[in-house]
């Protein structure tokens, strides 16, 4: 059997402050680090012989993976960091308090920006201190000014199809530490979830989602959260 584990980073500083984070590079809170340690313990308990790992280029995902690998005694595992696994870019909402934004624009409008499949928030002002375009880690990248889940999927899919899927087919078991929306995009690809249904998928922080495959296949035969007490509903596999 071959396995793929998706791990959403632990609680971040801006999660705690209830702010839209997106591509802003904030770190984990102490609770987030504890969640990462628990994720590592859960992954270690599976007994899976992991081959390699992936992370976004954002600190909260990298830190989560590092802590989990340390807990698993697998710090030596090869790690690929790729910006295409970054969180969705929240455009002009970046840095804003979610409650205050809902009070200003109305909960219905904010829900559309947050949860619709293909409606992005307003673009980020290029003068904003939150603009990542000048960050050298994105040199050569056409940095977006806003994203929907649809456009997030459009950057995640090529990475999955060109690198991750072929490795799974070869029998490599992989870990991916990333973000709510980039992982939601992967779930959509793996489970062939409809545009309408995927917006309701909510992946808990620090609770590994484990997929199992027959060797040579990327159609999962099972999918489960390792911490059943913190599991959220998964869509039916199409």
Residues involved in catalysis: 9, 87
Q: Which residues contact 143 (CB under 8 A, 6 or more apart)?
A: 23, 132, 133
d(CA 3, CA 55): 16
d(CA 82, CA 209): 20
Neighbours of 94 (CB within 10 A): 24
The answer to whether 182 and 132 are in contact (CB under 8 A) is no
117 Ramachandran zone, left/alpha/beta (phi>0; psi -120 to 50) = alpha
d(CA 208, CA 43): 7
In Å, the largest CA–CA distance within the chain is: 51
């Amino acid at each position: 059997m071959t396995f793929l584990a998706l791990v959403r980073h632990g609680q971040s500083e801006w999660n705690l402050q209830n702010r839209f984070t997106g591509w802003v590079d904030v770190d984990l809170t102490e609770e987030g680090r504890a969640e990462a340690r628990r994720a590592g313990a859960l992954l270690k308990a599976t007994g899976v012989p992991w081959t390699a790992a992936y992370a976004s280029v954002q600190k909260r995902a990298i830190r989560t993976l590092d802590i989990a690998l340390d807990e698993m005694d697998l710090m030596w595992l090869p790690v690929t960091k790729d910006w295409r696994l970054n969180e969705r870019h929240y455009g002009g909402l970046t840095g804003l308090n979610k409650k205050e934004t809902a009070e200003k624009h109305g909960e219905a409008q904010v829900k559309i920006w947050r949860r619709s499949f293909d409606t992005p928030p307003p673009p980020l002002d290029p003068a904003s201190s939150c603009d990542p375009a000048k960050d050298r880690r994105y040199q050569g990248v056409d940095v977006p000014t806003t994203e929907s889940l649809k456009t997030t999927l459009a950057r995640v899919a090529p990475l999955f199809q060109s690198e991750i899927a072929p490795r799974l087919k070869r029998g490599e078991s992989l870990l991916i530490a990333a973000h709510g929306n980039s992982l939601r995009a992967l779930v959509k690809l793996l489970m062939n979830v409809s545009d309408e249904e995927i917006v309701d998928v909510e992946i808990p922080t620090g609770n590994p989602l484990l997929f199992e495959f027959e060797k040579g296949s990327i159609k999962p035969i099972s999918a489960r959260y390792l911490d059943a007490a913190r599991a959220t509903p998964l869509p039916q596999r199409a």
